[in-house]
Amino acid sequence: MKLRNFIILGLFMSIILSACSKKEEVAPASLVGKWTIQGLGTTTNVKSYDVSSTELTAYAQKDTSYLDFAEYVSTIAYEFKSDGTYTATADADNGTWALGADNKTLTLTSKVYTLTEVFEVQDLAANSVKLAYPKTFTVSGGVPSTTSIDFFYYILSLLPLELKASTLEAAQTTTFRGYYALKR
């Protein structure tokens, strides 16, 4: 009887120990796949502001000076393919992409615009990601005049700030950097 209990106890312990073996590793989130715009955001030295594409469209219906930007933003979509190529619908763009080894930078090399951009990857999750624009702007620096792409990112960075920041927060802002909020 003792031998039988000892064997049952041994079997029971081996089952428990095998159940406690090392856990399966969860694969890190991947950019591969189709992503659509969820909204725009701006991070300032004061705080962050998010504007959904729905909010931007509703605002543009009240103030038509935002209509072109709202229409453009609503068409932003990327498809990152596993072969290292991408397509972007808003600009009818395509090219190659590479995620940095640390998963913190995304380099897009356009075949259409002969342009290479490096975005900061923020908050990469299974179904959402934020891609920070390549440049941080200063309030004292004024409107950038170097390239049209800098001007474009400047305007997109200002939209959430203009729509969401209080007068005091806007007055305290010295630096700002925008980002796309994308979802699967």
Task: Give pLDDT tens digits for 37-96.
Answer: 999 999 999 999 999 999 999 998 998 888 888 898 899 999 999 999 999 998 899 999
28/50 Cα distance (integer angstroms): 25
Residue 77 counted as domain residue:
yes
**Residue 12 CB: number of other CB atoms within 10 A?**
10
Q: In the chain, how many domains are there?
A: 1
Residue 103 counted as domain residue:
yes
Residue 12 counted as domain residue:
no
Residue 72 counted as domain residue:
yes
Q: Is the pLDDT of residue 21 over 70?
A: no
Containing H/E element for 10? helix 2-19
Residue 56 counted as domain residue:
yes
Residue 15 counted as domain residue:
no
pLDDT at 5: 46
pLDDT at 120: 96
- The CATH number that applies at residue 146 is 2.40.128
Tokens 């979802």 -> residue: 183
Minimum mean pLDDT range among 10-14, 62-66, 164-168: 10-14
Q: Is the pLDDT of residue 183 over 90?
A: yes
pLDDT at 23: 52
Residue 20 counted as domain residue:
no
Q: Is the pLDDT of residue 110 over 50?
A: yes
Helix, strand, coil share of the chain (percent; to 5):
35, 35, 30
Mean pLDDT of 129-148: 84
Q: Which domain holds residue 72?
A: 32-183
Q: What is the pTM for the complete model shown?
A: 0.80
46/43 Cα distance (integer angstroms): 8
Residue 3 counted as domain residue:
no
183/169 Cα distance (integer angstroms): 28
HSE of 84, CA atoms in CB hemisphere, 13 A:
6
Q: Is the pLDDT of residue 107 over 90?
A: yes
